[in-house]
A and B are shown apart, each in its own frame.
Chain A
């Protein structure tokens, strides 16, 4: 079943085309990797789907419903959530409080919002999230003091509190040291499997794309130049030329395939 359909999205910033006729269908339960050089339009695509940017023209349909004109908080309520390239957490609160607040925010009414934050059921839910995202060791620490990788995990844990059907992760491993990347991706992907959420993630590391994505979208200059299974897309000539770039030379000698882009 098609969960999200983007139809001919266009967005320009002055003379730069951030999206030039982007059309894509996303089917339920897919795990999609988005690749592309800086400025190719990956984040703009995520921003348009989540209502942070309005496309100049085109349409976004979610479960058949037009969500193009909605603001981000309404889109969140419909079940599309996202994480950020730079983790957006409440820095002065502890990890546990961050999760509690995020869980509290899913309350539907003002009356429910005025009930105490610390409620048994919510605390239990927060504990489950801590466990699932390997955050238990950092439970009581103030989030401004934590390493980037941990803040990334927090950011994602906070994005899934409302049980979204579609989750967009904007560079989940950027700013994370190379030897921690796979550990973090494993944690994220295992956690997301449990909740069965359709996932799109923007990523620069082709190894991560190869390992976790079932389908890859390659962006170049505001458009999608390749769409298909990772093996196919990563071997695509245009993708090699425009996205993976000079890594090509290394790929010839490196038996790992494409390296870090």
Chain B
């Protein structure tokens, strides 16, 4: 297998992040884990965005991934992090495959609203399900890694390593998908669906593929988040504001490259954490102001800044 510049760059950046986790304080590793696992979900949003589709319902798959991990631990006694992450991904992917049969017919605001409505159904169900702790949720098992059962700082770092590895694999996959024929075609769908159909291709199937890919990625992100936080509950995983966060990060990042979500997710996590710490009553106001600033001054996201710097170097 050959790797291109973006893939190598990502591998190097994530390796540096992995090494840093041994020197930075614990809270920073935790913050990093959450940010990187959000990246996974944002990859999915990016894939959809390339066709002009915005999903306000990625929390559905995010929560499914998280709850799958929680429930498999609670009822089956499974603890292996890799196994459960794969399981969470599959459950979310299967759900996305079912939903895609309906969702792939819709575009624009209808796509956004329909995906949100579906995710709020799950939220409603979770809130009413007492065995799953209703609004309180429940605690998730402590993960093991192929029999290795770390604790404390070691657990935190192991989880971070796993997150980085999974995200790197996902990033390479998404990058290759975007540069593949199918990836280019789905961008073309945004331009002209009629032409795509007259080239002998099903627009419906191409969009279905995207919905499933995005759903599975959100499931992976949810599974990892559930492990890292050690707890799942409807408000933190399934409420529509969670989906909103992913859309926020997508806008913040820009959709120019698969590397963009790393910047976006990290900045988002930092802003959110500090806003929450320094103004616990009005942190949403701070986030809102940041979003407003971004849309007005860097509408193409943080990645457009990177691109601008690069172009200057070339010139």
Give A contacts to B, CB under 8 Å: 50, 71-74, 76-77, 81-82, 84, 88-93, 97, 100-102, 104-107, 110, 112-118, 158-159, 161-162
With both beta carbons as reference points, the residue of chain B lying nearest to A88 in the complex is identified as B195
Chain A residues whose CB sits within 8 angstroms of the CB of B176 once the complex forms: 114, 116
Report the bound CA distance from A100 to B199 in whole Å: 12
Cβ A117 vs Cβ B179 within 8 A: yes
Given A76-B198, A106-B199, A117-B179, 13 new contacts (CB under 8 A): A73-B201, A73-B202, A76-B199, A88-B195, A93-B188, A97-B184, A105-B185, A106-B200, A110-B182, A114-B181, A117-B184, A159-B198, A162-B199
Chain B residues whose CB sits within 8 angstroms of the CB of A81 once the complex forms: 198
Give B contacts to A, CB under 8 Å: 176-177, 179-185, 187-188, 190-192, 194-202
Report the bound CA distance from A71 to B202 in whole Å: 10
Chain A residues whose CB sits within 8 angstroms of the CB of B187 once the complex forms: 90, 92-93
User: Within the complex, what minimum Cβ distance (angstroms) separates A24 from chain B?
Assistant: 22
User: Within the complex, what minimum Cβ distance (angstroms) separates B196 from chain A?
Assistant: 7
Chain B residues whose CB sits within 8 angstroms of the CB of A97 once the complex forms: 184
With A90-B188, A91-B192 as contacts: A104 and B198 at CB distance below 8 Å: no
Cβ A72 vs Cβ B182 within 8 A: no
Contact partner of B197 among A73, A113, A114, A116, CB < 8 A? A73
Return 12 A-B CB contacts under 8 Å, by A number.
A73-B201, A88-B198, A89-B192, A91-B192, A92-B187, A93-B188, A101-B185, A102-B195, A104-B181, A112-B181, A114-B182, A161-B199
User: Within the complex, what minimum Cβ distance (angstroms) separates B5 from chain A?
Assistant: 14
Contact partner of B188 among A77, A82, A101, CB < 8 A? A101
Cβ A105 vs Cβ B194 within 8 A: no
With both beta carbons as reference points, the residue of chain B lying nearest to A84 in the complex is identified as B194
Contact partner of A90 among B179, B183, B195, B198, CB < 8 A? B195
Chain B residues whose CB sits within 8 angstroms of the CB of A92 once the complex forms: 187, 190-191
Report the bound CA distance from A100 to B183 in whole Å: 13
Report the bound CA distance from A118 to B176 in whole Å: 12
Chain A residues whose CB sits within 8 angstroms of the CB of B177 once the complex forms: 114
Cβ B188 vs Cβ A76 within 8 A: no
Most chain B C-beta atoms within 10 Å of own C-beta, residue among A72, A105, A116: A105
Report the bound CA distance from A162 to B197 in whole Å: 13
Report the bound CA distance from A90 to B192 in whole Å: 6
Chain B residues whose CB sits within 8 angstroms of the CB of A161 once the complex forms: 199
Chain A residues whose CB sits within 8 angstroms of the CB of B179 once the complex forms: 116-118
With A104-B181, A104-B185, A105-B181 as contacts: A88 and B200 at CB distance below 8 Å: no
Chain B residues whose CB sits within 8 angstroms of the CB of A159 once the complex forms: 198
User: Within the complex, what minimum Cβ distance (angstroms) separates A72 from chain B?
Assistant: 5
Cβ B182 vs Cβ A158 within 8 A: no
User: Within the complex, what minimum Cβ distance (angstroms) separates B293 from chain A?
Assistant: 27
Cβ B200 vs Cβ A105 within 8 A: yes
Chain A residues whose CB sits within 8 angstroms of the CB of B190 once the complex forms: 92
With both beta carbons as reference points, the residue of chain A lying nearest to B201 in the complex is identified as A105
Cβ A105 vs Cβ B180 within 8 A: no
With both beta carbons as reference points, the residue of chain B lying nearest to A74 in the complex is identified as B200
Report the bound CA distance from A88 to B195 in whole Å: 6
Cβ A117 vs Cβ B181 within 8 A: yes
Contact partner of A115 among B180, B200, B202, CB < 8 A? B180
Report the bound CA distance from A90 to B195 in whole Å: 8
User: Within the complex, what minimum Cβ distance (angstroms) separates A92 from chain B?
Assistant: 5
With A90-B188, A91-B191, A93-B191 as contacts: A117 and B198 at CB distance below 8 Å: no
Report the bound CA distance from A90 to B185 in whole Å: 10
Cβ B194 vs Cβ A88 within 8 A: yes
User: Within the complex, what minimum Cβ distance (angstroms) separates B2 from chain A?
Assistant: 10
Cβ A113 vs Cβ B181 within 8 A: yes
* A-B residue pairs, 10 tightest by C-beta: A104-B181, A76-B200, A105-B199, A90-B191, A113-B182, A88-B195, A77-B200, A90-B188, A117-B184, A117-B181
Chain B residues whose CB sits within 8 angstroms of the CB of A76 once the complex forms: 197-200
With both beta carbons as reference points, the residue of chain B lying nearest to A91 in the complex is identified as B191
Cβ B180 vs Cβ A113 within 8 A: yes
Report the bound CA distance from A112 to B192 in whole Å: 22
Report the bound CA distance from A6 to B45 in whole Å: 46
Chain B residues whose CB sits within 8 angstroms of the CB of A102 once the complex forms: 195, 199
Chain B residues whose CB sits within 8 angstroms of the CB of A162 once the complex forms: 199-200
With both beta carbons as reference points, the residue of chain A lying nearest to B178 in the complex is identified as A117
Cβ B192 vs Cβ A88 within 8 A: yes
Contact partner of A72 among B183, B185, B188, B197, CB < 8 A? B197
With both beta carbons as reference points, the residue of chain A lying nearest to B194 in the complex is identified as A88
With both beta carbons as reference points, the residue of chain B lying nearest to A87 in the complex is identified as B195
With both beta carbons as reference points, the residue of chain B lying nearest to A79 in the complex is identified as B200
Cβ B181 vs Cβ A115 within 8 A: yes
User: Within the complex, what minimum Cβ distance (angstroms) separates B37 from chain A?
Assistant: 25
Chain B residues whose CB sits within 8 angstroms of the CB of A89 once the complex forms: 191-192, 195
